[in-house]
Amino acid sequence: MKAAAKPFRFKYPSRRLRCGFYVQPVHWSDNPAHDEAWADQMAARYGGRDSPGWLREHEMQPVSPGTRVWPMIAREVHVLRRDWAEIVGPKWARFRVIDHGIRHPTCCGWVAVNSAGDQYWYRQYYATDRTIAENALAILSKTKPEEQIAGDVADPAVFARNPETGRTFAAAYHDAGLAVTPADRSPAGYDAVATGFVSALARYSLFHRRAHPKMAALEPGTLETLAAKPAIWFHPDTAESLQSLYEECAALRYEEVRGDPFRHAAPEKPMDVHDEGADVVRYGRQTAAVAFYEPRSIVPKDIFDRLIRAEEEERKNARR
């Protein structure tokens, strides 16, 4: 005699709300087609089964204090040294990204971007208790002439007016030699950075012909798909101390969950502490203007001088 099938049960019980309606939480494992291999496959896109994105979206677990925003980051993968000639060559465009601080540190990151959208953060600057003019001078002095910086972007907050002077902080940067444009600070940048870190992990796995421990067992072709996304890496100089672009990305945590997690959504906002470097990387990834461009030839300064003198001569002749 054939045994009777066991009755189906959801993993989580239903709950009755005060309004009288019932709510039935549905876990991914409630779907008979979803097994552990499926979970490993899907979780890899978030950075693993212990990543905040997977826990929040598929395990229905609130993001707890101390949960890392980017758990997929790994020093042996994301910190690497590139040849200087390659960085300043025609295959990369270079930008400076600034997170302006008054009471918090001012942070600037130099990033090289190639035609595939890959980003390599190769220099950093941190300073506190300095004026905008002092910060701008230091940033300009750390930039080598052969870098040919394509543009400078900064936290949109610098375009707010200083209540004491009536001018914007961006105007002060411009006066000091840095013509900054506003960065895109939308929360979507957190996912964009995560995609970049996962892409670097996938490429590392393909190069070594074995999945990195942070990458779950994947189906054939999945690593190639993840590796095709724009990747993010750091120069060792940006990963030497706790106050660095790499370490602040690795240490970034979500805010604490308050209230009943079944009645209130988990906070998506990271803690606002020691996040200057992480903000710089997020601005650099999310801002559309930070992209590769074909290098333009530089016109020697003396040509401009000759053009100006020729124009002055024409004006003098016209007045005669």
**pLDDT tens digits along 152-193:** 999 999 998 878 888 999 999 999 999 999 999 999 999 999
Confirm whether 40 is domain-assigned: no
Q: How confident is the model at residue 265 (pLDDT cuts 50, 70, 90)?
A: very low
Confirm whether 126 is domain-assigned: yes
Burial 241-252 (b: 16+ CB within 10 A, else e): eeebbbbbbbbb
pLDDT score of 267 more than 60:
no
pLDDT score of 139 more than 90:
yes
Backbone angles phi, psi at 23, to 5 degrees: -120, 130
The whole-number pLDDT of residue 95 equals 97
The whole-number pLDDT of residue 260 equals 47
For the ranges 39-43, 185-189, 193-197, 267-271, the lowest mean pLDDT is seen at 267-271
Q: Which residue has the higher pLDDT, 268 or 262?
A: 268
Give the pTM: 0.71
- What is the maximal distance between C-alpha atoms in the chain? 117
Confirm whether 100 is domain-assigned: yes
The whole-number pLDDT of residue 23 equals 73
How far is the C-alpha of 70 from the C-alpha of 164, rounded, in Å? 39
pLDDT score of 299 more than 70:
no
Instruction: Please work out, in degrees rounded to the nearest 5, the angle formed at the alpha carbon of residue 56 by the alpha carbons of 24 and 190.
Output: 145
Share of the chain above pLDDT 70, in %: 74
The whole-number pLDDT of residue 300 equals 45
Q: Which residue has the higher pLDDT, 173 or 34?
A: 173
Quote helix, strand, coil % in the chain, to nearest 5. Answer: 35, 15, 50
Of 92, 111, 108, 112, nearest in space to 100 by CA: 108
pLDDT in tens, 93-125: 999 999 998 778 999 999 999 999 999 999 999
> SS3 for 151?
strand
Count of domains in the chain? 1
Task: Tell me the CATH number at 124.
Answer: 3.30.420.280
Enumerate the H helices of the chain as residue ranges.
Answer: 36-43, 52-57, 75-78, 84-87, 132-142, 169-175, 188-208, 222-227, 245-251, 276-286, 301-319
Which residues span the domain enclosing 233?
75-259+266-286
Confirm whether 211 is domain-assigned: yes
Burial 88-108 (b: 16+ CB within 10 A, else e): beeebbbbbbbbbbeeebbbb
Confirm whether 249 is domain-assigned: yes
Alpha carbon distances (Å) from 119 to 75, 106, 149, 214, 314: 16, 21, 14, 21, 48
The whole-number pLDDT of residue 35 equals 84
The whole-number pLDDT of residue 306 equals 55
For the ranges 28-32, 88-92, 237-241, 265-269, the lowest mean pLDDT is seen at 265-269
How far is the C-alpha of 79 from the C-alpha of 247, rounded, in Å? 10
> SS3 for 60?
coil
The amino acid at residue 112 is A
Q: How confident is the model at residue 248 (pLDDT cuts 50, 70, 90)?
A: very high
pLDDT score of 315 more than 70:
no
How far is the C-alpha of 4 from the C-alpha of 11, rounded, in Å? 21
Confirm whether 295 is domain-assigned: no
Confirm whether 34 is domain-assigned: no
Q: How confident is the model at residue 142 (pLDDT cuts 50, 70, 90)?
A: very high
Mean pLDDT within 28-37: 83
CA atoms within 13 A on the CB side of 24: 6
Confirm whether 42 is domain-assigned: no
The two beta strands, 15-16 and 22-23, are antiparallel
Given a contact cutoff of 8 angstroms between Cβ atoms, the answer to whether 40 and 216 are in contact is yes
